[in-house]
Amino acid sequence: MTPVDAILIGRNEGARLVAGLASVQGQVRQIVYVDSGSTDNSVAEARRAGAKVVQLDMSIPFTAARARNAGFDALDDPELVMFIDGDCMLVKGFIAAARAHLEAHPQVGMVTGWRSEIHRDASLYNQLCDWEWHRPAGEILACGGDMLVRAPLWQKVGGMNPSVIAAEDDEICCRFRKAGAVLYRIPQDMTRHDAAMLRFSQWWSRATRTGHGFAQVGHLHPDYFVTERKRVLVYGLALPLLFLLGLITWPILSVLVLMLYVLNYVRTARGLIHEGLNTRESWRHSLLLTLSKIPNFIGYLRFHLRRLSGAKMRIIEYK
């Protein structure tokens, strides 16, 4: 049976990290925890759990990508590697099912599953995260940070790009596919996530980070995030500018712009209902999704300003 090693990354995750470490014990051969400058007891808890601890040099801007690379480099002779975010718990049975899928399908280089929120109904924002996580099983283009990867594939593509501060998982998945690997989501619960997103300001920061990811990964892989970038430019830039122009020159133009936002809101809600989300949540989620294009554009603009000025790519935190 092919051995599996686990890498957890985190920063000030506290009890979430303790639960995550406990969830992998007994299921993997090696556990590595990579810490990005925690000021709580994360490092001590990881050592207490028997994990090998890697502490990043904080004089260099830290990213999740850089942390995962450091974790991989700390493993001894890896073959299959399970990457888990420090605010997640591994569901028992996933590793066995994912390993079996990899062993039965040599062309598959990475397997993921379903992530769900531990406290789904604690906030509207947690509910939205939970909906985002649950995508259809089958061959996929990309996934989130929780994944079981063949070590030779990780090495072949050179690991994650440490300068990518958001959607770094999408970015490496693009390179996995370009290297000839098939990516697959099995219909299996994988991890339980604790977004702990209870305030509007947290959601706004997360949406800003998402826009930064659309821009940065789209810049690196122009064939990816195409639709998402178009939506950001239309609903986050062009329409707001037309709205302001209408206020100055022709108020009817501003009314027409607002009607377009309402139409988008209704269309999005109906799409969510069609996908199976209950009606009440669909209308509430649609409001956030419609509004999200504004912070998405802020993140999009922030990336390009950083790129053009040569500024360092620093993470955008929401908790």
**What per-residue confidence (pLDDT) applies to 318?**
86
CATH value at residue 65 = 3.90.550.10
pLDDT at 60: 86
* Number of compact structural domains in the chain: 2
Task: Pick the last residue of a domain from 138, 173, 198.
Answer: 198
Q: Identify whether residues 173 and 297 lie together within a single domain.
A: no
| Same-domain check for residues 301 and 233 | yes
The pLDDT assigned to 319 comes to: 78
Supply the pLDDT for residue 304: 98
Question: 31 and 145 share a domain?
Answer: yes
Report the pLDDT value the prediction gives residue 1, as an integer from 0 to 100.
86
Instruction: Please tell me the predicted confidence (pLDDT) of residue 134.
Output: 87
Global pTM reads 0.94
Which domain covers residue 184, as residue numbers? Answer: 4-198
The answer to whether the CB of 42 falls within 8 A of the CB of 13 is: yes
Residues 93 and 154 in one domain: yes
The predicted pLDDT at position 99 comes to 97
Q: Are residues 105 and 138 in the same domain?
A: yes
Q: Which residues of the chain fall short of a pLDDT of 70?
A: none
In the prediction, which pLDDT does 61 show? 84
